[in-house]
Structure 1
Amino acid sequence: MALHKILKIVAIILSLAGIVFLGMILSKGDDVVKATGEGVDGYLYIAYITLAIVLLFVIIFVLKGIFAGNIKRTLLSILGFLVVVAIGYALASGVETPMQDGKMLSESGSRWVGTGLYVFYILAILAIGSMVFSGIKKMTTR
């Protein structure tokens, strides 16, 4: 319960800081903000702080869950994911590609983009397949 109170206090503080920065931006006027971006820095700092807090709590609770549960099962899941990434990397090919801004996407960057797409496809197929399998299994066992 103490963690909930701490999170609530942090959320209130960040909300109040956001309201103060909103007031600062509104007091500057649209023309000044558009021309110089003055007053927007505060919002960026609030966003960075919020992101850091969220990441910290995610890491804490993930580690807490790993150590509270079955570590062997967690490691097997991570290994399975790494195998899927390795398969995606093996299937991907890297080709230098011109981008819209005139820069070139390197061969390595292109291969990692392809890897990400293949990993997404493989995981999507596995998820859909498991849902279909589960549905068929439920229909046949009744």
Structure 2
Amino acid sequence: MNLYKIIKYLAFALGIIGVIFVLMVMAGDASAAESMGSNVLYITYTVLALAILLVLVYVVKGLFSGDIKKTLMTVGLFLAIIVVSFVLSSGTDLDLTPFTSKGLDITESTSKYVGAGLYAFYILAIVAIGSMVFSGAKNIFKK
């Protein structure tokens, strides 16, 4: 039995377990729903861990079966975008007093990380849109 069939059966079984838990929460009283909610949360964590594990397995499998040079170049470009985003983000362009006065633990480093994430998102979105436009224009002029 190959890995795809195992994953398909595992997803089917987890789906059935999820439906059973949802029906139990909907049919039970409030206290049972709260305790069942924590069980559903544990199942969610388990499914997330399985999904991450399977993604890592397929990535490693793809690395060794494909062109590792292209993969490493792609990962390197992604890391370069992250570094550029972090350098562009200052973290001091936000007045943090309204947040700290409410008891939130937001520092300049937190603001810098959030800014870096936003810059990375913007750069990656521009690259994705640009590649789609380039691909579409290439196909139009090819015909």
Q: TM-score range by the shorter chain?
A: 0.7 to 0.9
In structure 1, the residue corresponding to 2:91 is in which secondary structure? coil
1:25/1:33 contact within 8 Å kept: yes
2:2 is aligned with what amino acid?
Answer: A
Distance in 2, matches of 1:32 and 1:90, equals: 50
Task: Give the number of aligned pairs.
Answer: 139
The equivalent residue for 2:15 is: 15
The equivalent residue for 1:79 is: 76
The equivalent residue for 2:40 is: 43
Which structure 2 residues correspond to residues 125-136 of structure 1 after superposition, within 5 A? 125-136=126-137
Which structure 2 residues correspond to residues 1-142 of structure 1 after superposition, within 5 A? 1-29=1-29, 31-33=30-32, 37-95=34-92, 97=96, 98-99=98-99, 102-142=103-143
- Change in Cα spacing, 1:16 to 1:132, as seen in structure 2 (3 Å) is closer
Q: Deviations over 1:86-121 (max 9, x none)?
A: 111111111362439531411111111111111111
- Change in Cα spacing, 1:48 to 1:104, as seen in structure 2 (3 Å) is closer
Q: Where does structure 2 lack aligned partners over 5 or more consecutive residues? A: none
In structure 2, the residue corresponding to 1:105 is in which secondary structure? coil
In structure 2, the residue corresponding to 1:93 is in which secondary structure? coil
Distance in 1, matches of 2:114 and 2:138, equals: 36
1:92/1:114 contact within 8 Å kept: yes
How many Å apart are 1:6 and its aligned residue? 2.1
1:73 is aligned with what amino acid?
Answer: K
- Residue identity over aligned pairs, in percent, reads 42
TM (norm. structure 1) is 0.80
1:25/1:38 contact within 8 Å kept: no
Higher relative contact order (CA 8 A, sep 6+): 2
CA-based RMSD of the aligned residues comes to 2.5
How many Å apart are 1:20 and its aligned residue? 4.0
